[in-house]
Amino acid sequence: MGPALRQLCILWTASYERLARRLDGLTEEEFGWAPVPDCWALRPDPEAPSGWQIDYAHPVPTPPPFTTIAWRLVHIASGNWIRWEHALGPARRTFLDLYVPSTVDGALAYWRDSAAQIAAWLATATEPDLDRPGRTLYGEVVTAGETVRILLDEQVHHGAEIGVLRDLYAHSHG
C-alpha cells in the first residue's frame, strides 16, 4: 500500500471510529432535537421510498439552515452512498431515490453500511486506483481519491458537529 492510500485508510478509519464513539448511546430525543427554529431535519414524505426525506435545497440558502443530528448523520451516509455510486458504481440513483431512515437505529445502520463500502474499497485499492476517474451526481469528473477525500471531509466536519450538538444537548437537558 502506497503512502497516499495508507493515509486515506488511516484517516477514514480514525474518523469513522471517532464518530462511532460519539454516537454511542444516542437517543431518539437527541437524534431529532432542533435547538433553534427552522432547522433542517428529516421530514415525513409519503412519496419517498422510506416515507421520509431529508431537508435540502440547491443552492443552499444563505445563511445555511442549522441542522439536527438526524440530518447530519443521514447527510453523511447519503453522501457516501451517492458519491460512491456515481464515482465507482452504476450511477443510477439520486438523493431522492435513497431510503432515508427515521430512527436512531436505522440511521446508524445506514451510516455504517455506507461507510463499510468505502472501507472495503480502501482495503483492496492500489495507489493507481486513487486516480481512477469517475463522476459526481452532477456529471463532474472526479477521481476515486478525490471522492474519498470529499467523503472523509464530510465525515470529519459533520461528525465533529454531531459531537458538539450531543454536548450541547447533554448540558442543556442535564
The H-or-E segment that residue 54 falls in is strand 52-54
Residue-level pLDDT at 91: 87
Residue-level pLDDT at 94: 87
Specify burial of residue 150 (Cβ count, 10 A radius: 0-12, 13-18, 19+): middle
We report the CATH number of the domain holding residue 39 as 1.20.120.450
User: Three-state SS for 141?
Assistant: strand
78 contact partners, CB below 8 Å, separation of at least 6: 54, 95, 98, 100, 114
Cell numbers of 28, please?
431518539
**What band does 67 get if pLDDT is binned at 50, 70 and 90?**
very high
**What band does 157 get if pLDDT is binned at 50, 70 and 90?**
very high
The H-or-E segment that residue 43 falls in is strand 42-44
Residue 89 has pLDDT above 90, yes or no: no
Decide: 70 and 33 in contact? Cβ < 8 Å: no
Residue 140 has pLDDT above 90, yes or no: yes
Convert the pLDDT of each residue in 16-66 to its tens digit: 999 999 999 999 999 999 999 999 999 999 999 999 999 999 899 999 999
The amino acid occupying position 36 is V
**What band does 155 get if pLDDT is binned at 50, 70 and 90?**
very high
24 lies in which domain range? 3-172
Q: What is the mean pLDDT of residues 91-115?
A: 95
Cα–Cα distance for residue pair 140/143, rounded to 1 Å: 10
Total tally of structural domains belonging to the chain: 1
Cα–Cα distance for residue pair 22/80, rounded to 1 Å: 19
